[in-house]
Amino acid sequence: MAGEPFYVTTPIYYVNDVPHIGHAYTTLACDALARFMRLDGRDVLFLTGTDEHGQKVEKAAQELGIAPQELADRNSAKFRKLAADMGYTNDDFIRTTEGRHLKAVQHLWRILRERDEIYLGTYAGWYSVRDEAFFNESELIKGENGKLIAPTGTGAEVEWVEGPSYFFRLAAWQDRLLEFYHRNPDFIAPESRRNEVLSFVKGGLQDLSVSRTSFKWGVPVPDDPDHVMYVWLDALTNYLTAVGYPDTESEAFTTYWPADLHMVGKDILRFHAVFWPAFLLAAGIEPPQRVFAHGWWTNEGQKISKSLGNVIDPTALVAEYGLDQVRYFLLREVPFGNDGDFSRAAMVQRINGDLANGIGNLAQRTLTLIQRNCEAKIPQGGDSSDGDSDLRRACGPSLLAAMRQNMEQQRFHMALQEFMSAVSAADAYITANEPWALKKTDPHRMSAVLYTLAEAIRTLAILAQPFIPDAASRLLDQLAVPEGKRNFSQIEGEGALTPGTDLPKPEGIFPRHVQPSGA
């Protein structure tokens, strides 16, 4: 029987530029979650993809002297490659230039139009192409030489836009949105972001311009092809397209919609937490269950930007430090939801402190002791003490419960902190029991102690899989745990190691990182 569905999405990435650490981060968080939920028996749909229309992409293509579709093809392939290089386990990769998406967006538009949620008017106001967003004059910041700048921190100049436009009746949704937030207190996380959204909506909403006639690169408005749709209406709909919309009777739609989680960066929360539920409610579709806004990374204390030349290429980072190491660092270093600073010193500290000296050393020590003292076989249990069962619980069922609770709230750093506390408990257990000294005095007890440790490492490795999948799988190989016995249901009961099983020669899973001299 398939487990309870879990549908998680990343934002779809603009193809005007190539992937960087920010994109890798959002998808990584979703990947860890998707892996965790699959191992926990859920029926997961994990979606990522690329956002290919709009003025920003059209402009970037013009600057390169190529067609927007060509730029989209080129850069979408780079995002797809990033997903493969980073080992992401997305089930689908959507592109907004695909036929399935065109069909979904145009259908949604027709429904909104039929319900009189969209009307034709005239727009006159400020627009930031970089943010693909409209702003009121009162929100804008005066930049150097008097130019008006968007209030988003991107430093983007706004331009005056005037012309016929369709509008979505957003203003009329203010009260119903507030009521929706009230009834669904978990819809926006973290709490501080929820408060920001609430005060934004309480401040009053204006109807939203959802079409443009001044450029062509977008989805044509049904029955009025002089207009192309606002790129955010187009892009947000991807979450529906991937589950078969407009076929709301399809198996995918009935199984996975409403989505369990849209993961987004803090900069695009308003689109997901205000516009998106309004569009959906207006079309009679249930909104997603939750939107989580994570923070932004800086590089050695500086804002990451192309003009500063400090953009971090995730693939280069992986080549230097290793994939599991990068995954672990990004998810452990910063409380998820806060901004974080990437620094090489912090990265090396985490690799050596938590991975090499922590889980790596624990596994290597234990497996070497077993290799030398138990004829390279899983030791016999027996003669177990309270301390043994305490450790097995701390590294097994109790840890699973604690990690599950944190993962349900997207507290990746806390889940990993719990994990490392269990590793420390196992280290303390070795120190207290001194298995090396028991060989001569009490070999039975030695065997029980090493079995307890092997079991603790088995369950730790099973629980580490969502975060450090490669090292975890090598560790499980070293304990001769079969492929089919690596999910969370094997933590207790019949999944336990069978004494007498032959073990391969242990190999370190996490070498210490030594910074090359001069670096």
Binding site for ligand MSP (CB under 6 A): 11-14, 22-23, 25-26, 51, 235-236, 264-265, 267-268, 296-297, 304
Residue 13 belongs to what H/E stretch? strand 13-14
Beta strands in 52-146 (DSSP E): 92-95, 118-128, 133-135, 141-142
Distance between CA atoms of residues 507 and 213, nearest Å: 62
Strand 211-212 vs strand 224-229: parallel, antiparallel, or unpaired? antiparallel
Helix (H, G, I), strand (E, B) or coil at 189: strand
CB of 235 to ligand MSP, least distance (A): 4
265 vs 469 by CB, closer to ligand MSP: 265
One-letter amino acid identity for 130? R
CB 176 within 8 A of CB 184: no
Q: CA nearest 451: which of 391, 512, 516, 491?
A: 391
Torsion 375-377-378-383 (CA) sign = negative
CB of 419 to ligand MSP, least distance (A): 23
253 vs 296 by CB, closer to ligand MSP: 296
CB of 14 to ligand MSP, least distance (A): 4
- CA distances, 249 to each of 103, 109, 257, 424 (Å): 16, 19, 11, 50
Helix (H, G, I), strand (E, B) or coil at 166: strand
CB of 26 to ligand MSP, least distance (A): 5
95 vs 194 by CB, closer to ligand MSP: 95
For the chain, the residue count is: 519
Distance between CA atoms of residues 282 and 269, nearest Å: 19
In degrees, to the nearest 5, what angle opens at C-alpha 120 toward C-alphas 118 and 123? 110
CB of 107 to ligand MSP, least distance (A): 17
CB of 319 to ligand MSP, least distance (A): 20
- With b meaning 16 or more CB within 10 Å and e meaning fewer, what string describes 277-289? bbbbbbbebebbe
327 vs 365 by CB, closer to ligand MSP: 327
168 vs 429 by CB, closer to ligand MSP: 168
Long-range contacts of 476-479 (CB under 8 A, 24+ apart): 477/504, 478/363, 478/367, 478/503, 478/504, 478/506, 478/507, 479/367, 479/378, 479/454, 479/503
7 vs 419 by CB, closer to ligand MSP: 7
CB of 279 to ligand MSP, least distance (A): 11
Distance between CA atoms of residues 11 and 27, nearest Å: 8
300 vs 375 by CB, closer to ligand MSP: 300
CB of 197 to ligand MSP, least distance (A): 15
92 vs 442 by CB, closer to ligand MSP: 92
CB of 311 to ligand MSP, least distance (A): 9
Residue 480 dihedral angles phi and psi, to the nearest 5°: 55, 40
HEC assignment per residue over 30-68: HHHHHHHHHHCCCEEEEEEEEECCCHHHHHHHHHHCCCH
43 vs 196 by CB, closer to ligand MSP: 196
216 vs 303 by CB, closer to ligand MSP: 303
For the CA atoms of 457, 461, 463, 467, what is the dihedral angle to 10 degrees? Answer: 140
The answer for residues whose C-beta is within 8 angstroms of residue 157's C-beta and 6 or more apart is 128, 143, 147, 148, 149, 150
340 vs 360 by CB, closer to ligand MSP: 340
208 vs 457 by CB, closer to ligand MSP: 208
CB of 33 to ligand MSP, least distance (A): 15
Which residue's C-beta sits nearest to ligand MSP? Answer: 265
268 vs 497 by CB, closer to ligand MSP: 268
CB of 349 to ligand MSP, least distance (A): 20
Distance between CA atoms of residues 488 and 398, nearest Å: 12
Residue 329 belongs to what H/E stretch? helix 323-333
CB of 297 to ligand MSP, least distance (A): 4
CB of 6 to ligand MSP, least distance (A): 19
Q: CA nearest 273: which of 337, 197, 332, 216?
A: 197
Strand 118-128 vs strand 261-265: parallel, antiparallel, or unpaired? unpaired
